[in-house]
Chain A
Amino acid sequence: MLFNSLLFLFLFLPVAYIGFWRLRTKKHRYTWLTLASYIFYGTWNYKFCALMAFSTAVSYFAGLGMLGTTDPRRRKLFLIVPVTVDLLLLGFFKYFNFTVSSFAQLSAWLHVPLHAPALNIILPVGISFYTFHTISYMVDAYRGVITPTRNFWEFSCYVSLFSQLVAGPIVRFRQVEADLDNLDHANRTRWLDIGWSFFAIGMMKKVLLADTMAAVINPAWKDAAHLSTLGAWLCVLGYTYQIYFDFSGYSDMAVGLGYLFGIRLPQNFNSPYKALNVSDFWRRWHMSLSACLRDYLYIPLGGSRGSAPSLVYRNLLITMLLGGLWHGANWTFVFWGAYHGILLCLYKLVGRFWDRLPVFLQRVATFFLVVLGWVFFRADSLSVARAMLARMFRYSPGTLFPGLAGLLAALAIAALIAHATPNTFELRHEWKPWTVAGFAVGYTLALIAIASGQQSPFLYFQF
């Protein structure tokens, strides 16, 4: 079920909302939210509910195990076993075919024929996100950052919460623990305005901006090798804003829904295209993932404090490579991760000089580097990425694609919002009546677009 579907907006959300606020106790609300979330997830493929329930149960009992012992070895066991189980599940569903096909390609290149079995594996939507939820919970419990909950429904509600289940933000237990604990005291009207404001802004970002750009550039991307230079640049720029408005739109909707149910979710985007350098970009883009990669991968690898420069570069590269691979089982994502890893290393190296450049230049240069990175992220294969880059940097005349007027209009609005206006978390969400009227118009337009049956899934669903 998509947030931008009539089923969600006119049936699921009202029922889930009314049911939730009719219930009074914490236990009932946890159970209700869990049930609603499993229904939400099950409408996509009910069979995978069992997988999420299994992952939830394993992590819950691991948490209980850690609560019940102070023996370091046993605590370690309660960490390693369930994390391994979670990673094996993720590895199987997400990376099995990729690994096998990569080995097959390698063996073909070495002229050693290998008959690799390709399994018909369906990637469960959101597995990367809820696996991160459960792993972060167990690691934090092991480190003593959180006290594992004894309430199964509370934990289950945390893992499966429909608002952030399939595309984040990646929420750590400690970030919502207080709100979950106070769920019975939540006040329905307290965050209603903020919730709807976030939700409506997210919806308009996704449906009116991201989907408009997608409608124009998706067909053009399929024919990347025949684009003109201008067309190629417009295509890549279009994707740059599409992915931002799509993903940050989803995150805003998730945060808004969280508010509607009395749970505050963390910020996921902080105007990333205003970043002054690549390091700054990663502090602003998909912040919940960046923080997880930092806390659960980069720092355990040694981080950047007190390490030799070569080790810092190694740590950065490993973190970004795995971060790239987390996005999908394709070499394009690995390449994208490596590209950003190299940029971060270069920034470590020449940061002192970079920071002396005029702010405007820093912003433009960072944006340019990020835009180039999106070519690898969007391309279906490295050859498509190569073709697109060739079109961008080698002059090729040609006609532009249909829908240019719509793309240019959407690009202009998107650029204005992304570069020159405060982001959703910088707003106070206290609106004057005429602004509310504007929201109502924009929201109605988004609903019309949804009702036409042309809505597209969120890009981050595939990750």
Chain B
Amino acid sequence: MSVNETAKNSLGTWSIGRILPRLMFFLFFLDLLLRFVPLDPLTFRAWEAMLRRYPNAVGPFTPNKHYHRDNSYGGVAGIGNLTVLRRYHAVDFTTDAYGFHNPPALAQSNPIGIVIGDSFAVGSELPEDQSLSAQLTQRFGGYFYNAGASQPLPLSSLKAVTQRIGLRHGLVIFEFLEARALQDPPASAPDGGRGAAQGFIFRTLGTDWIDRFRTPLNQLHTSPLQALSAKLEKEIQNDTLLPNSYASFVIREKLRNGEPIVFLPAEFKSPAHPQKAAERWVAYLSWYSKELHKDDLDLIVLLVPNRPTVYAPFLAVPREVSASRATLHELATALESAGVSTVSLESRYPQDAATLLSQNKYLYFLDDTHWNGNGTAIAADEIFHHGK
């Protein structure tokens, strides 16, 4: 053994025992510092750049901010690190003072309706005039406010928003993606799904206190150094230098017209007991509808199928999605029976998908989970006809 263990009571400036711990401290503080720098340059789409990660009283995004990127692409292609499947497009994303996706150019006073839901309602990858709320505004001739977030707003938050935007009476469009049936509905309580401890804090301190800490907390959440490292790792994993391990996170398929389409495995999941899932959600949505009715607001639930539910039959090797269809059907029937106004895209979407496919057009992005402008246009038409 040659390790020199002789006593050493002081270290030289260039000793490894000095340099490496200092290097680690340097990287630690650099990481901390960089967390206060905007994330925009590291992102390829608006969602990550705009999203605030901590609970708040109003919108989910940084208020009064504009994001633009010429070469945005779908999140699923990003997750799978599949550069050849990216479909580049320009994206703009503008938020209002409350932190919702509402470009000032399209905003009007005296809204006649509000759209709530998840990223589908937000319309994060769409041209801003093609989001569901924008399409509804065009059809109804009155302004629909976009209150889309990571998930549909709890009732208390929705009420706060309708008060702020001055929606006295009108329509509330609840965009309900099929995948939501896999989750439990939020607790039917004013705190809308917050845990007991969190609810207590919000009741005691109010909901505005978090605003003061929100920006620094949000900044601390994401590490640009880690994001950069992951980017570097993805560059190296190009199947030449190293195999692309990210590809296993997605499912690659081909449509019958030969176009590649990429899915997340989660998109194929359906509830094990569709009837029970439907019962839980119908109970929640009935309560939600009744509570809104007290404020002179009418709820319309928009049932949106997952991408595979629409496109599985049109794959080069078709896949079985009868469980997904059953879930949507169960939900639509149960909601109608409960007297909740419902628009289901369950049957319209597959028909239109088949027609558009022959023209090499689609209802959803092929490299992303979300619907495109064609998808929102059909949804808006259906709601318009239903609303009339």
Residues of A within 8 A of B (CB): 9-10, 14, 187, 189-197, 199-200, 212, 215-216, 219, 264, 267, 401-406, 422, 425-431, 433, 436, 439-440, 443-444, 447-454
A403 touches B241 (CB 8 A): yes
Question: A8 CA to B353 CA in the complex, in Å?
Answer: 51
5 further A-B pairs in the complex, CB-CB below 8 A; given A192-B17, A436-B15 = A10-B28, A189-B11, A196-B16, A433-B14, A439-B19
- Interface 9-residue window, one of B226-234, B262-270, B329-337: B226-234
Closest 7 A/B residue pairs (Cβ): A192-B17, A452-B233, A403-B243, A451-B229, A433-B14, A402-B239, A452-B229
- Interface 9-residue window, one of B1-9, B100-108, B369-377: B1-9
A402 touches B7 (CB 8 A): no
- Distance to closest chain B CB from A249 (angstroms): 16
A426 contact from B2, B27, B240, B242, Cβ within 8 A: B2
Q: Is B23 among interface residues, defined by CB-CB distance under 8 A?
A: yes
B9 touches A187 (CB 8 A): yes
Q: Is B10 among interface residues, defined by CB-CB distance under 8 A?
A: yes
A436 contact from B10, B16, B225, Cβ within 8 A: B16
A440 touches B19 (CB 8 A): yes
Q: List 27 A-B contacts (CB under 8 A).
A: A189-B8, A189-B9, A189-B17, A190-B5, A190-B9, A192-B11, A193-B16, A194-B3, A195-B17, A196-B16, A264-B5, A402-B239, A403-B237, A403-B240, A405-B241, A406-B240, A406-B241, A425-B1, A426-B2, A427-B2, A428-B3, A429-B4, A444-B27, A447-B27, A448-B232, A453-B229, A454-B230
A448 touches B243 (CB 8 A): no
Tell me whether A427 and B3 are in contact in the complex, defined as CB-CB below 8 angstroms, given that A193-B17, A452-B229 are known contacts. Answer: yes
B11 touches A436 (CB 8 A): no
- Distance to closest chain A CB from B15 (angstroms): 5
- Chain A residues, CB < 8 A from B245: 215, 219, 454
Tell me whether A406 and B232 are in contact in the complex, defined as CB-CB below 8 angstroms, given that A196-B20, A200-B20, A430-B4 are known contacts. Answer: no
Interface residues of B in 112-144 (CB under 8 A from A): none
- Chain A residues, CB < 8 A from B56: none
A216 contact from B10, B23, B232, B242, Cβ within 8 A: B242
Tell me whether A440 and B23 are in contact in the complex, defined as CB-CB below 8 angstroms, given that A215-B242, A405-B240, A453-B226 are known contacts. Answer: yes
Find the A residue at minimum CB distance from B28: A10
- Distance to closest chain B CB from A213 (angstroms): 10
Tell me whether A193 and B229 are in contact in the complex, defined as CB-CB below 8 angstroms, given that A215-B245, A425-B3, A443-B20 are known contacts. Answer: no
Q: Is B244 among interface residues, defined by CB-CB distance under 8 A?
A: yes
Find the A residue at minimum CB distance from B233: A452
- Chain A residues, CB < 8 A from B244: 402
Chain A CB count within 10 A is highest, among B16, B226, B237, B243, for B16
Tell me whether A193 and B15 are in contact in the complex, defined as CB-CB below 8 angstroms, given that A10-B28, A215-B242, A406-B242 are known contacts. Answer: yes
- Chain A residues, CB < 8 A from B226: 451-453
Q: Is B258 among interface residues, defined by CB-CB distance under 8 A?
A: no
A194 contact from B5, B20, B27, B236, Cβ within 8 A: B5
- Chain A residues, CB < 8 A from B2: 422, 425-428
A439 touches B16 (CB 8 A): yes
B239 contact from A191, A193, A403, A428, Cβ within 8 A: A403
- Chain B residues, CB < 8 A from A443: 20, 23
Question: A453 CA to B24 CA in the complex, in Å?
Answer: 17
Q: Is B21 among interface residues, defined by CB-CB distance under 8 A?
A: yes
B16 touches A200 (CB 8 A): yes
Interface string of B26-38 (1 = CB under 8 A from A): 0110000000000
A440 touches B20 (CB 8 A): yes
- Chain A residues, CB < 8 A from B21: 196
A453 touches B230 (CB 8 A): yes
Find the B residue at minimum CB distance from A432: B14
- Distance to closest chain B CB from A17 (angstroms): 9
Question: A199 CA to B15 CA in the complex, in Å?
Answer: 14
Question: A42 CA to B236 CA in the complex, in Å?
Answer: 34
Question: A431 CA to B11 CA in the complex, in Å?
Answer: 12
- Distance to closest chain A CB from B229 (angstroms): 4
- Chain A residues, CB < 8 A from B240: 402-406
Question: A197 CA to B225 CA in the complex, in Å?
Answer: 25
A449 touches B233 (CB 8 A): yes
Question: A439 CA to B16 CA in the complex, in Å?
Answer: 8
Question: A444 CA to B278 CA in the complex, in Å?
Answer: 52
A401 contact from B11, B14, B243, Cβ within 8 A: B243
Chain A CB count within 10 A is highest, among B1, B17, B23, B244, for B17
A196 touches B17 (CB 8 A): yes
- Chain A residues, CB < 8 A from B1: 267, 425-426
Tell me whether A451 and B20 are in contact in the complex, defined as CB-CB below 8 angstroms, given that A215-B245, A405-B241 are known contacts. Answer: no
Interface string of B308-327 (1 = CB under 8 A from A): 00000000000000000000
- Chain A residues, CB < 8 A from B223: 451
Interface string of B210-223 (1 = CB under 8 A from A): 00000000000001
- Distance to closest chain B CB from A207 (angstroms): 12
A444 touches B23 (CB 8 A): yes
Question: A406 CA to B236 CA in the complex, in Å?
Answer: 9
Question: A267 CA to B2 CA in the complex, in Å?
Answer: 12
- Distance to closest chain B CB from A96 (angstroms): 31
Tell me whether A449 and B3 are in contact in the complex, defined as CB-CB below 8 angstroms, given that A192-B17, A193-B16, A402-B239 are known contacts. Answer: no
Question: A130 CA to B244 CA in the complex, in Å?
Answer: 37
B241 touches A454 (CB 8 A): no
- Chain B residues, CB < 8 A from A401: 243
Question: A261 CA to B229 CA in the complex, in Å?
Answer: 31
Question: A232 CA to B118 CA in the complex, in Å?
Answer: 47
A403 touches B17 (CB 8 A): no
- Chain B residues, CB < 8 A from A190: 5, 7-9
A10 touches B24 (CB 8 A): yes
Question: A216 CA to B244 CA in the complex, in Å?
Answer: 9
Question: A219 CA to B242 CA in the complex, in Å?
Answer: 11
Question: A310 CA to B85 CA in the complex, in Å?
Answer: 65
B230 touches A439 (CB 8 A): no
Question: A444 CA to B28 CA in the complex, in Å?
Answer: 12
A193 touches B242 (CB 8 A): no
- Chain B residues, CB < 8 A from A422: 2
- Distance to closest chain B CB from A70 (angstroms): 38
Question: A219 CA to B226 CA in the complex, in Å?
Answer: 25
- Chain B residues, CB < 8 A from A433: 14
Question: A427 CA to B16 CA in the complex, in Å?
Answer: 14
